[in-house]
Each structure stands twice: as C-alpha cells, then as structure tokens.
Amino acid sequence: MQTWIDDRHCSDSASTLHTRLGLPLLSEASAEHFYDPEKDALLSWQTPKKSVMPQLTLIPPNTGAISIDFLGGKKAHRRQFGGGKGQPLVRAMGSLEERLPDVFDATAGMGGDSFVLASLGFNVWMNERSPIVHALLQDALERAQNADDLEPETREIIERLKLTNGDSAEIIRHSEQQLETIYLDPMYPEKKKKAATKKEMAALQQLLGPDMDSSDLLDAALSKASYRVVVKRPKGAEPIAHDTLPTTAVQSPNTRYDIYVIKTLKR
C-alpha cells in the first residue's frame, strides 16, 4: 500500500509533510505511478463539522477517514466518562509516594491511552514508530496547542504530553532521561473476523503489519524502567514471550494489564 499526500488544498502543509516523510504528492501522480483509492492511502486535510480548523486525515483504501482530535470526539468522551483514577489503565501505572510516575508510552498509536493518563495528571512521553501515525499525532497536538479558546485545564493536559518518532527499543536503551513507568501496547494479532475491528486498529494493521518485536521491546523496557513496566494484552492472551514473567496484573472486561514491578524483579 502506497501513501500519497494531498496537495490540492493545503499546499504549504502538504509540501512540509512531503519533505518530512518523503511520500509522493498527489500532483506528482503519473500514468506510471498513479493514485488508486482502492489500493492506496491518502493523507489529506479535512475540516469536520463544528470546526474551522482543518485536520490532517488518513484515508486508507478499505476503512473510513481517520484523524486525531485531543479536544473533542472520542478522546474527550473517554476523558469525561472513562472512569477517572479508578480505571484499570490508571491503576496499572501505579503511584509514587509523593507524585505520579512519569510514563513513557512506547507504542503511542492514536494517543488515546496517553491522553487519558495526561488528563489524570501523568506526564507522558509518547513515541510512535510509524512516521504517518506520528504525523497525525503531531497535527493533533499542534492544533490543540494553537487553539485560541482552550480552557486552562485542557491546556495543562496538552502540556503534559511530549511526542517523538522513532524505534522505541533504541530510544529506551539510549535515553539519558530516567524512565519510571514504561507502557507497551503491542499490536494485537489481526482477527479472522474483521466485522468488529475498529477502523483505527485496521488502519494501523495496514500501516505497520504484524508486531514482530514485542519481546525485544519488553527486554529494553525491563532493563531501563526504574519503577515498573506495564504491558496491555487482550483478555486471555499469554504474556509477551520473555524469560521474565509479570509480577501481577490488573484485569478489565476485555483487557489485561501485565505489570512488571522493577523493585520486585531485582530482589
């Protein structure tokens, strides 16, 4: 699957993204290399209803359009109705004596878990290895940072989010910054029955393919985290294959959070 950049409307933004990602512009399509909406993805700018600001949007060939919005939509709903500090994700991250641990989200994806954690007071460093998904995240962050009518509470949440792009295992191993809690949410295996698959997950599976390096990423995290490593797994799935087993786990109806407590592991 080839991904193109739509330069028909926001040409300056398209040119900047083209330079950064090295993806072809739609205006460069030719008889030899043409854009096929049934096979190719498109990065374009769309303005949703009740908004005046265009959003960078991924249009995959087989699923609906995808963009990231930290100020509205599903993320705002999850922040408001997700269960607060009592939800399993938050309990899995733990707490230090006087504050919440800083979190390195090594598999940021669409940023949903990171945003929930930031909304509840965690400082979160998001890293996403896919340059395309990173571009969607960066666009969402920049729109939020530049919003004129942002409430002080929401601005504080956005300021607690940091974003980078790269190989998380390499970043973890070479980071000079102390990483307290490291959070991993590896790509789940693709289901044979796709009817219930969320469009965001389907798009990520198309972009990234199957996850092949979970064990290496966990190994890097265990060698670097100073407080704990948390791994999100489907309910009933085995822990990530590794010599070290989880210390404990937090359960939810469809998900399990495997927790590796560093202090316990080093005994």
Mark the binding-site residues for S-adenosyl-L-methionine, compressed into ranges. 128-129, 185
Residue type, 173: R
Binding-site positions read 128-129, 185
8 Å CB contact between 216 and 186:
no
Backbone phi and psi for residue 27, each to the nearest 5 degrees, phi listed first = -70, -15
User: d(Cα 122, Cα 111) in Å, to the nearest integer?
Assistant: 14
User: d(Cα 187, Cα 4) in Å, to the nearest integer?
Assistant: 24
Structure token digits, residue 52? 């005046």
Helices and strands in the chain, H and E counts: 10, 10
Eight-state DSSP code of residue 140:
H
- For the CA atoms of 76, 83, 197, 229, the dihedral, rounded to the nearest 10 degrees, stands at 100
